[in-house]
Structure 1
């Protein structure tokens, strides 16, 4: 298995610099492919506008052929000005609850990613988290690139360094309790590669033990990845924190390792979850893995954590995400749209 992973790393791991933008535009023109970029967003007014502006400036406007044909922000029910800021920057903003209204929406990042397939049309769908800072358009062009130049590749994840800077907490894209921007404060230096704690403590051990073919992915839980619609519409979507692991594992089983790839896009700066949110994330990821290992009964889909109160430690119990959405190809509204 180690030999297979090493072979895959040599053949399916690239740098964003390997495919210059003019090369991608030539291949896009020749193939006739279209590209949709989706930003799932929850209370991201501080960062979403800059991301939209960079994508529009670098990948849509002023090019002989736009690399990105659709730029959509899926609002998960923000209480701040996320929708207004994104629209002012030039994105099409769609509220989660306006998509497929016959099915009541559930909280969670995976839910909005799943619903985004109904409001986008691109042959390639590229997901980008809305809390990134110092955003570079190579996050998009880098992971879209192999899908334009390598016909056999169907699913591409971004890989990057994730500096970690503990500090302030605040709202985030996929859940409560996230920490401030991924840069160190005055007089300190953020150690390289120290973000992604749930990746190292939960996801990577699970993948190495149960799906060792996926051991070569540097950032298996990263929120930046591009997928051919023809594959994405056939995959089930965990509605919450487990969506990235679930999609990756299911894609492996559906199309095989050589259809998966990763691209180095540099450094990812973003808000980090606090410890309690990380615990809930870890539980959801473990549950997603468990379902894929056994499709068996969940003994207790809840997680109890503790907070110190005036009289000692107080238990707080949270539900673990247990819902999954079916492959979009099985939803009648999606099928009817394809026929139309």
Structure 2
């Protein structure tokens, strides 16, 4: 069972920043986006004010955008984020659509020792979505990857089902984990988009460019480091837009591609990017990674 926390455990931001500085850590936040003009300005503003301006928990806050056709990039920049097009990162490696592409390129673009990810469509954004996942990594050196979990209300014609979200998790992913990876079945929200990880963990992962990215992270983390490095934090409730059944169906297919690419004999899933540490450009940008690659060769 992954070690569990509550976001309140890390709500003393002054103490958390002091612990971060004492450990000599840098923390980077990535918000991957595609057409999030309805929420992105508030997401950036709330997190920047609390975690960059008032308390320097974050050393950088970057929106990596997939090519939005609305005002997402403009609004994010006006709110104070650094905004980068995914297609402009590692351009010689091409550009692909998908959330996983943004996260893969974030490992190259961001400079922190701890990388934190938050989706851009959160309607009830709060700093806990960051400090709740970053905190365990600062306080517990043995952890390498921390997922957030929460209640996810489902808006339906009959009203609000307070626990009706997370349909793909309950119908598809949890049964797969219970059958093939029971040591990960205790994760409440294995597909949550809010999580944090150490650079030396993320740089080793091959990453699907699709919605299979989150399940791929977990399986690769377990395979390379063991389930004991994975933690999870209760973030209370997350409100975001609910997706149609057709969208959930496509998402499920992408998750299955990533899952079976790693079980029982891993083969590359369609469109999968290689581990970031395998790129010469990455090893040049982060010399410590080059040394880690040399030692593991």
- TM-score higher than 0.5 here? yes
Structure with bigger gyration radius: 1
Structure 1 residues 20-99: aligned runs within 5 Å: 20-63=12-55, 66-99=56-89
Match in the other structure for 1:13: 4
1:325 and 1:296 map into 2 onto residues whose CA distance is 14
Which shifted more, 122-131 or 250-259? 250-259
Q: Partner of 1:241: helix, strand, or coil?
A: coil
Match in the other structure for 1:137: 127
1:266 and 1:91 map into 2 onto residues whose CA distance is 26
Match in the other structure for 1:324: 272
Runs in 1 of length 4+ with deviation above 6 angstroms? none
- Name structure 1 gaps, 5 residues minimum: 168-187, 299-320
Match in the other structure for 1:112: 102
TM-aligned CA deviation for residue 23 of structure 1: 2.3
Q: Partner of 2:92: helix, strand, or coil?
A: coil
Match in the other structure for 2:255: 285
Q: Partner of 2:223: helix, strand, or coil?
A: helix
Structure 1 residues 172-187: aligned runs within 5 Å: none
Name the TM-score, length of structure 2 as normaliser.
Answer: 0.93
**CA spacing shift, 1:261–1:297, aligned 2, 3 Å:** closer
TM-aligned CA deviation for residue 230 of structure 1: 0.8
TM-aligned CA deviation for residue 272 of structure 1: 1.4
Give the number of equivalent residue pairs.
287
Can you list the C-alpha shifts for 1:153-187, whole angstroms capped at 9, x where unaligned?
A: 000000100000037xxxxxxxxxxxxxxxxxxxx
TM-aligned CA deviation for residue 22 of structure 1: 2.4
TM-aligned CA deviation for residue 201 of structure 1: 0.7
Is 1:232 aligned with 2:232? Answer: no
Match in the other structure for 1:164: 154
Equivalent residue in structure 1 for 2:218, among 244, 248, 258? 248
**CA spacing shift, 1:108–1:295, aligned 2, 3 Å:** farther
TM-aligned CA deviation for residue 297 of structure 1: 7.7
Match in the other structure for 2:291: none
Match in the other structure for 1:147: 137
- Name structure 2 gaps, 5 residues minimum: 289-297
2:170 and 2:207 map into 1 onto residues whose CA distance is 23
2:267 and 2:181 map into 1 onto residues whose CA distance is 21
Which of the pair is proportionally richer in helix?
2
Match in the other structure for 2:242: 272
1:154 and 1:259 map into 2 onto residues whose CA distance is 5
**CA spacing shift, 1:230–1:215, aligned 2, 3 Å:** same
Q: Partner of 1:294: helix, strand, or coil?
A: coil
TM-aligned CA deviation for residue 27 of structure 1: 0.7
Is 1:194 aligned with 2:168? Answer: no
TM-aligned CA deviation for residue 106 of structure 1: 1.0
Can you list the C-alpha shifts for 1:83-115, whole angstroms capped at 9, x where unaligned?
A: 000000000000011001111111111011001
1:35 and 1:43 map into 2 onto residues whose CA distance is 26
Q: Partner of 2:161: helix, strand, or coil?
A: coil
